[in-house]
Amino acid sequence: MKHQLSGVLIYGAGGHGKVVADIVERQAQYRIVGFVDDNSQLWGKELLGYKVLGGLPILVSQGLARHPIVIAIGDNRARKRLVLELTAIGCTFTSVIHPSAQIASNVQVGLGAMVMANVAINPDAKIGAHVIVNTGAVVEHDCVIHDFVHISPAAVLAGNVVVKEGSHIGMGCSILPGVQIGAYSIVGAGAVVTKNIAAEVTAVGIPAKPLNMFE
């Protein structure tokens, strides 16, 4: 008799949700029960052949909270808010890792993290909870990526980089060894970060500087 896979829900029925669904299928560790999304215009529709079941209330009303959830929402603050709401009603979470990702054996990957295709994460790196490491990103040795960070496609973090909670690292960024990115900061696409970035700033350019320094 074929073993029945445990169910999983994907919260977020957008483009990011599609990517997560593809990873779940490729991992073959869960079966996708469906999508959950708070946009009522999506309810009842299908995404990659899976139904959008409804919004947050159905997790309780239909007993779906028994299934682990992956939160497929790219906005870091929104993802954190949703984790807090779902935790309060007893939901649990799981991580998804694309089979093509190259992850060293001693890397720590936090609960609810999403590691996309062709990512490389090297020895002694630490990936926090509900972090997104997007397609083709490189996280070098001894990096520390705190909770709710989003590392965009093709970003490269050299060794010993620290990215504090909730920061967004833009597409194609390069961050030099030992640099620290403060909490809830944004590093613009293609930037080269040579020095520490403070919390809650947007930094762009080569070398990267806070936007207010360009005024």
User: 146 and 128 in contact (C-beta within 8 Å)?
Assistant: yes
Please tell me the number of Cα atoms within 13 Å of 79 on its side-chain side: 29
| Burial bucket for residue 27 (CB in 10 Å: 0-12, 13-18, 19+) | middle
Active site residues: 141
User: 102 and 108 in contact (C-beta within 8 Å)?
Assistant: no
Angle at 40 between CA 37 and CA 42, to 5 degrees: 70
Angle at 204 between CA 17 and CA 123, to 5 degrees: 60
